[in-house]
Structure 1
Amino acid sequence: MNTAQNTRDKIIELGRDYMQRIGYHSFNYKQISLELNIKNASIHHYFPSKEDLGLAVIEKDRQDFIFLTQKVRKAKAMDKLEALISSYQYYFEQGKKLCVISTFSTSFNEITERMQLAVSQYAELVTAWLVATLKEGLESGEFSFKEPVDELAEVWMATMPGALLVGRTGGKTVFDKVINSLRQTVKSS
């Protein structure tokens, strides 16, 4: 990997970390420049505007999600869901971060239309994957639930970020309880 690409990738990763921990509007380029020991102008070279970096963060996270789904594509349905849950456990353990979708959803009305579209499309991708995974588990007999699959997928989309939020104030015990309750949604009869 060349130095320019390496610097660009580091900026995206640090931007994602700050956005997940403190929010899109609360982070600034100075935080990244201090951590990387580069000038703000260097960041602007790669990302002329904060919107450009925000879009790159959304795209990077989307690509990471696609990689995760490809890695578990042959796994059982519950193992697929557990892989997604593991990413939320990682966010929690790494500083009580929010996922990228909820990071941008919390300020949805204040971000640009391009960013709204990008995060909406990303959320649709995750929801579609959840729907497919829930259907797969239901059809194989691995899951047992009565709710319509698309409604249960939306419950998962709301509950996973919600676990991160309540975990911020209630700690790991509360986070774990919410996640365990979510697991039970596919086991009800």
Structure 2
Amino acid sequence: METKSTVREQLLDHAIALMMRRGYNGFSYRDLSELVGVKTSSIHYYFPSKDDLALEAVRQYSDEVMAALQAVDAALPADVKLTAYTKAFGKTLGDGNQICLCGMLAADIDSLPDSVRKAVQAFFRANENWLAKVLAAGVSEGTLAVNGSAESSARALFAALQGSALASRLFHAKSRLEDVDAMWRKRAS
């Protein structure tokens, strides 16, 4: 089987997937070595510590999410942008056995180093800022309604999406995420 990615890329991809399913404390370098087919000492070559691996995983994941947000057509109405966002967020759930990497790490925040904590916080802020802009545009267009400021509504919406991801995983039902999507649609009507 031909693989197009380097060992480092494979390690990162598997680490992200494992953390999305098990959290930071739920996997080891031994798990990665079995998945990628390298010795654990080889993993240490790329990522001297698990903290280094987690930080790079958050960076890569954040870059991918932010690139996807930047790819949303700026000319679309705000409600359509928000629908695209919730659909993309839903894809994060996979088969319902995982959640957003940074949402999962936020639950483990007390066991993470400060650098990873700051990277997770930056991810949350970036998503909330993007959502705030979309919500503000939706209010101006008349396509969305918010309670309070766009910023506080964005924080509440992002928190609701993260919470629905947890509940979707718990109940193996993506309908929990759809409930959040339906909530803002009803308010906009």
The normalised TM-score by structure 1 is 0.89
| Amino acid of the structure 1 residue aligned with 2:145 | S
- Structure 1 CA distance, aligned partners of 2:183 and 2:42? 43
How many matched pairs?
186
Letter in 2 for 1:96: N
C-alpha distance in 2 between matches for 1:186 and 1:81 = 13
Match of 1:49 in 2: 49
CA–CA distance in 2 between the matches of 1:182 and 1:176? 10
Distance 1:154 1:95, change over 3 A: same
For residue 112 of structure 1, what is the aligned residue in structure 2?
A: 113
Q: Distance in 2 between matches of 1:23 and 1:153?
A: 25
- Give, in whole Å, the separation in 2 of the partners of 1:141 and 1:174: 27
Q: Distance in 1 between matches of 2:39 and 2:14?
A: 15
Aligned residue for 1:66? 66
Partner of 2:82: 81
Report if the CA contact (8 A) 2:165-2:177 is conserved. Answer: no
Structure 2 unaligned residues grouped into runs of 5+: none
Q: Which residue of 1 aligns with 2:141?
A: 140
Partner-residue secondary structure (3-state), 1:93? coil
Question: How many angstroms apart in 1 are the aligned matches of 2:188 and 2:10?
Answer: 41
Which amino acid in structure 2 is aligned with residue 65 of structure 1? V
Query: CA distance change for structure 1 residues 19 and 159 in 2, over 3 Å: closer, same or farther?
Result: same
Structure 1 residue 120: Cα displacement: 0.9
Q: Which 5+ residue runs of structure 1 have no aligned equivalent?
A: none
CA shift, 1:103, in A, is: 1.2
Match of 1:34 in 2: 34
Counterpart contact for 1:69–1:80, Cα < 8 Å: no
- TM-score norm. by structure 2 comes to 0.89
Task: Kindly indicate whether the alpha-carbon contact (under 8 Å) linking 2:161 and 2:177 is maintained by their aligned counterparts in 1.
Answer: no
Moved runs in structure 1, 4+ residues, more than 6 A? Answer: none
Q: Which amino acid aligns with 1:21?
A: R
